[in-house]
């Protein structure tokens, strides 16, 4: 927690936040209390907070650079942000497979996807335990295959303060060259934080 009482963003998100184009709009999917939206706001980005319960970000409604969209992504309706693109998309501790193609489609050229959630094997350590909430080995890598350049990927057991968990993490960029078989310039795996 920070001194103001908000929960710190995930280290994976903080690590790759500098890859998002300065001033680019960031989508925080299943934003909860908005810890990642708040992080990007502090870096000067406009943010769109998306969740089925937006009460955790209600205090951001007065922020001129914050947009809040309440939508049940699992309700069977269409993707609520059709035709919109984002310089950054952040997803942490959330998995609903039917929207994965929508996330890739919503990345603007040069857009950065920062994703971290639970993987198979986590059932040994705690929740979530059901396969529908656990990524298969390499599943995030498959997500961007042919579309996104993978900057970094991890899959394994992460030891925490209170308990361990199995996570899968991806940072990938929509650089356009991967789908056509072109080589793209590499991105920094530890980008300097200029924000």
Listed by start position, the domains of the chain span: 11-173
Whole-angstrom distance, CA of residue 74 vs CA of residue 39:
26
Name the pTM for this structure. Answer: 0.89
Name the nearest CA neighbour of 149 among 168, 177, 169. Answer: 177
Q: Per-residue b/e over 100-138, b at no fewer than 16 CB within 10 Å?
A: bebbbbbbbeebbbbbbbbbeebeeeeeeeeeebbbeee
Contact 84, 111 (CB under 8 A): no
Count helices and strands (H / E) in the chain.
Answer: 4, 7
Class of domain 11-173: alpha beta
Give Cβ neighbours of residue 77 (< 8 Å, ≥ 6 apart): 71
Question: What tens-digit pLDDT sequence spans the chain (195 residues)?
Answer: 343 445 899 999 999 999 999 999 999 999 999 999 999 999 999 999 999 999 999 999 999 999 999 999 999 899 999 999 999 999 999 999 999 999 999 999 999 999 999 887 667 777 877 777 787 888 888 987 888 999 999 988 888 766 777 788 999 999 875 544 556 677 777 777 766
């Amino acid at each position: 927690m920070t001194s103001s009482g908000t929960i710190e963003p995930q280290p994976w998100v903080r690590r790759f936040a500098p890859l998002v184009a300065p001033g680019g709009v960031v989508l925080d999917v299943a934003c909860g209390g908005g810890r990642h939206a708040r992080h990007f706001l502090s870096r000067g980005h406009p943010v769109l907070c998306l969740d089925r319960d937006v009460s955790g970000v209600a205090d951001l409604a007065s922020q001129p650079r914050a947009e809040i969209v309440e939508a049940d992504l699992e309700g069977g309706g269409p993707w609520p942000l059709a035709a919109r693109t984002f310089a950054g998309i952040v997803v942490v501790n959330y998995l609903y497979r039917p929207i994965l193609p929508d996330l890739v489609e919503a990345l603007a050229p040069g857009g950065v996807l920062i994703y971290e959630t639970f993987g198979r094997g986590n059932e040994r350590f705690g929740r979530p335990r059901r396969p529908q909430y656990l990524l298969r080995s390499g599943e995030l890598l498959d997500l961007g295959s042919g579309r996104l350049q993978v900057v970094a990927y991890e899959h394994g057991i992460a030891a925490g303060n209170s308990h361990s968990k199995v996570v899968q993490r991806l940072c990938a960029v929509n650089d356009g060259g991967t789908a056509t078989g072109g080589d793209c310039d590499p991105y920094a795996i530890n980008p300097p934080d200029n924000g």
